[in-house]
Amino acid sequence: MEYIALGKSNLMVSRIGFGAMSLKDFDSEEDAAIIVHKAYDSGINFFDTSHTTIESEKRLGLCLNGIRQNVILSTKSNSTTEEQLKADLERSLSALQTDYVDLFQYESVPENNMTFDKVFYVMKQLKDEGKIKHFGLTTQSEEIAEDAVSTSLFETIQMPFNILTSARTEAIRKSCVENDTGFIAMQPLFSGLVRNVPLAVGFLRQYENVVPLWGFRNIEELEQILFFAEHPPVIDEKFNKDIEEVRTFFS
């Protein structure tokens, strides 16, 4: 497993991230524990969830019992006030059975009314209290991501990034490199619309600063991603042609 520093946070994360919000969909806590420990044993140390899926937080907390100190744990909140943001973190800490999270992210949408300055102020307080180690922002809005990167307030940015990424999103990724901001890619398979897994993995591995979060639904999907991460396709003319064919199909 390869590990990279997540921007200026310097968190050394596996180049395969575990998007744990899907844990709520597993039939049992035992099934969830099996895939989490399989991922951990394979070298994955970055687990990301969200307070919007409290059941997934609870399951992840149970699954990490005994190995919490060896992983980088991330969650997020879409609260609209400073008080709610703090309260969400407390509930997340309880669900995850931990005293702190390594990365706490503000989930920003256009209708949220918290300014970046307010978010930064609260995050700084929580960091000073030792409840979070680092903080970032997650969004599906290119405009919000652009504004967030330009402020240099956040240590990481999480947003959709995949084969179908627009030129505008690619420019945001480049800005993150220039600002030493960690870049976390959500929806690496475009919510399941991209079916060519090796192509998707190969595309993402071209970018040294991109850490994709894969939402594994079963052991087979985990093993598939692990295999192609270790045996990525050759980036050649055929590879680029295949990328263009996928983009043309969805355009």
Range scoring the smallest mean pLDDT among 9-13, 43-47, 115-119, 245-249? 245-249
Distance of CA 118 to CAs 38, 121, 227, Å? Answer: 39, 5, 43
Distance of CA 179 to CAs 147, 214, 216, Å? Answer: 13, 25, 31
Return d(Cα 91, Cα 218) in angstroms, integer.
Answer: 27
pTM: 0.92
CATH code of the domain containing 45: 3.20.20.100
Residue range of the domain that includes 13: 3-250
Which pLDDT tens digit goes with each residue over 84-142? 999 999 999 999 999 999 999 999 877 777 899 999 999 999 999 999 999 999 999 99
Looking at the 3D structure of the chain, how many domains does it have?
Answer: 1
